[in-house]
Structure 1
């Protein structure tokens, strides 16, 4: 059994919103061992919806459609599926009462417009997926052995209906096999080098255990998946991969590098501080977004102006005059200055030219210096990213955390 997702809305195609719904649905279906084999985004046009339903039904057993269930004229999904299934729309009394109750709460004393009553219209003979948290109900329709599910595009409403209405129904339809996942977060090896290092173990995996490589800036996530039972357990292979990769392993569960830093530094009572110029607080934001960061993060200074570098971080005026703010000497003094200021064990400093302006022949856009100061030394690296501003900042953050982690591992091994 497989699934396909269709998202309806010009706002997705225009890039006005990001389709996070499909990723979340895929995660939930994966837990049921129902693979999502295709995701399609289409505009709010009847002919596009009809064609997408036709094509999806030829490929998938379950078709999930999100969006286009609102009461306004641009939401044409209901009328279109009425045409597709050759069934009329009928007004559901329970849904109508629910819509009227919700309307009275937000507009007490006012008459509900007729257009809102259309929210209670559902396809005849469908299974209504009652929406407790919104006005648009979901609908489940079966046709020629295929299951079609129509859901509102509002994320919290869609998630409620999937979790509380759809998944309980699907669990009764799907032949359940136990499915297990294990994760390893690695750093310091590119995807190809990583694959070469563990090739013999990967080649020995039984047919029902699969290994996936999920690269991201600065790290590679390995995901082991076991479906059903096996003579050799997924934990045995998980351990073998961990042992083989040694110091390249950051975490043995599905977390980010930032989460690993917060978790590890907190457990070992280590303190971190940051001094940022070109990253504008992104390092501090990445750490403090993690619950529990207060146990290990002391302070972050965004020192865009040279006066702040001097007065707060202790960067020498002579250093700035002789080498400039984007230099190895400056980031060293920034890192050591904020470490001293916060009485931290580790500190990160960044300074660079993120772009799109500000570059020179000697220091073009994308030039970035990073310094990490630890218990025994301060290390620096020069990067020449030469991308757009957002990517330059993202790459700087990823490399800064990687440098921090590598220094921590080095200190620990010593």
Structure 2
């Protein structure tokens, strides 16, 4: 297995002024060509710190990818530090200079001395042309290991890797094929899931590994197969999927990049059915999930954020007597909310949520995290009581996901 380490350089990353999205993308692309990322590190614009992390990375990885610190200003010190690390000097690369000169001429802008110095690269590197900016790409080789320095700007880095560096890495290393297959489950905790599929997991072939990736009421089961024949890996992985499905089919809502809102939307669109929402404690979060999906206007009509009892009564037709007897956080109220929005917006299905998101407002009878959800459709209304935690934002996110799953189960008759 070829091992990689990714290093991001820049004080702005450590200060939290920008979000590092580069390492996730790089790791995904490396995996696709059979290179496994074993560590990711971020370091500031400090020469000694960069030298130390380079030495550490060289001791444990076969390929070291570096992003950032290649700008024309004094705080960008990556090129000079690489010269120190590889015991060399900077000099103007004529190919780089010609490209940068043309870059500015094409845009009708003057080229300053700082811009000209962008064409300077360490003498012992291979210059990698950057067609999307002025910061150069650089490739070093030492003792069978590869160091690659790239711009930190995501657009430039991604194009440089896609069109030049990934093919070059594939040619340099003899890498295995790594194939991932993801099962998307919902409504079952990680530990319960692990117990249910323990025997299946224990009998997986040695070249197929399983990982559990939990997130807000969902657990992704990632199967990773390693070998030399992609089609064979796909067949073997699919065979394992078919073995485990009977154990967890009610909890599997999709595969790979499927999201619960995408799956629900796909079903509604295929059937020509429509949806509306009535939300109290979630404040429109479920509607946000639904409308994140491109083309959701084909099935989503609209919703009502009925945060107050007055809006529940006036806009959704919830009976004052229901609220007085059972309260806003009750099965009875959420049923009337779902049926009310379905009727008033004239949709096939109406879904609703009402609860105590927290961190306060709970009682002994209804503690924080008590939430009722409902889905109303042509064949009746189904409900579910959630007993979540004390953290408001998490409760809202969990509720939105569980609400869509309740609808999914109703749509499929589960």
Structure 1 and Structure 2 fold alike (TM over 0.5): yes
Choose the corresponding residue for 1:377, options 373, 377, 380: 380
* Two-structure CA RMSD over aligned residues (Å): 2.7
Structure 2 residue aligned with 1:144: 143
- Is the 2:67–2:151 Cα contact (8 Å) retained in structure 1? yes
Match of 1:243 in 2: 246
* 1:24 corresponding residue in structure 2: 25
Q: Is the 8 A contact 2:70 2:135 kept in 1?
A: yes
Whole-angstrom CA distance in 2 between matches of 1:176 and 1:17: 33
1:388 deviation in Å?
Answer: 3.7
User: Are residues 1:120 and 2:119 paired?
Assistant: yes
Select between 254-263 and 139-148 the one with higher mean Cα deviation.
254-263
- Following TM superposition, by how much is the alpha carbon of 1:153 offset from its aligned partner in structure 2, in angstroms? 1.5
- The reply to whether residue 155 of structure 1 matches residue 161 of structure 2 is no
Instruction: Give distance in 2, aligned partners of 1:151 and 1:348.
Output: 48
Give the equivalent residue in structure 2 for 1:339: 342
Match of 1:295 among 286, 291, 298: 298
Query: CA–CA distance in 2 between the matches of 1:396 and 1:97?
Result: 57
Please list, as runs of the form range in 1=range in 2, the aligned pairs for 1:153-192 lying within 5 A after superposition: 153-192=152-191
- Could you tell me which of 276, 281, 290 is aligned with 1:278? 281
Match of 1:83 in 2: 84
8 A contact 1:258–1:286 mirrored in 2: yes
For residues 71 and 357 of structure 2, what CA distance do their matches in structure 1 show? 42
The residue that corresponds to 1:197 in the other structure is: 196
Which whole-Å CA distance do the structure 2 matches of 1:321 and 1:361 have between them? 18
Give per-residue Cα distances to partners, 1:242-289, cap 9 Å, x unaligned. Answer: 233232221244412222212222223332221223323221221222
| Structure-to-structure mapping, 1:35-114, within 5 angstroms | 35-103=36-104, 108=108, 111-114=110-113
Match of 1:33 in 2: 34
Report the count of equivalent residues.
Answer: 409
**Partner residue of 2:236?**
233
Distance in 2 of aligned mates of 1:280 and 1:117: 54
The change in CA–CA distance for 1:199 and 1:383 in structure 2 (over 3 A counts) is closer
Distance (whole Å) between structure 2 residues aligned to residue 320 and residue 121 of structure 1: 73
Partner of 1:255 in structure 2?
258
CA positional deviation for 1:161: 1.0
Contact 2:139 2:148 in 1 (8 A): yes
Question: How far apart, in 2, do the equivalents of 1:364 and 1:245 lie?
Answer: 31
Q: Distance in 1 between matches of 2:98 and 2:398?
A: 52
Secondary structure (helix, strand or coil) at the match of 1:39 reads strand
CA, structure 1 residues 291+356, in 2 after alignment: closer, same or farther (shift >3 Å)? same
Between 160-169 and 93-102, report the one with greater CA deviation.
93-102
Q: 1:116 to 1:331 in 2, by over 3 A?
A: farther
After superposition, the C-alpha distances for 1:328-363 in whole angstroms (9 at most, x for unaligned) are 443322211111123223222223444556667776
C-alpha separation in 2, matches of 1:99 and 1:346? 58
TM-score, length basis structure 1: 0.88
State how far apart, in whole Å, the 1-side matches of 2:366 and 2:117 are. Answer: 61
Give ranges in structure 1 of 5+ residues lacking alignment: none
C-alpha distance in structure 2 between counterparts of 1:359 and 1:345, whole Å: 34
Match of residue 404 from structure 1: 407
With 38-47 and 243-252 compared, the bigger mean Cα shift is at: 243-252
Residue 325 of structure 1: CA displacement? 4.3
Aligned to 1:218: 217
Deviation of 1:236 after TM superposition, in Å, equals 1.6
Residues 209 and 282 of structure 1: is their aligned pair in 2 closer, same or farther, counting only changes over 3 Å?
same
| Greater alpha carbon shift after TM alignment, 319-328 vs 176-185 | 319-328
| Aligned-partner Cα distance in 1 for 2:104–2:362 | 56
SS at match of 1:16: coil
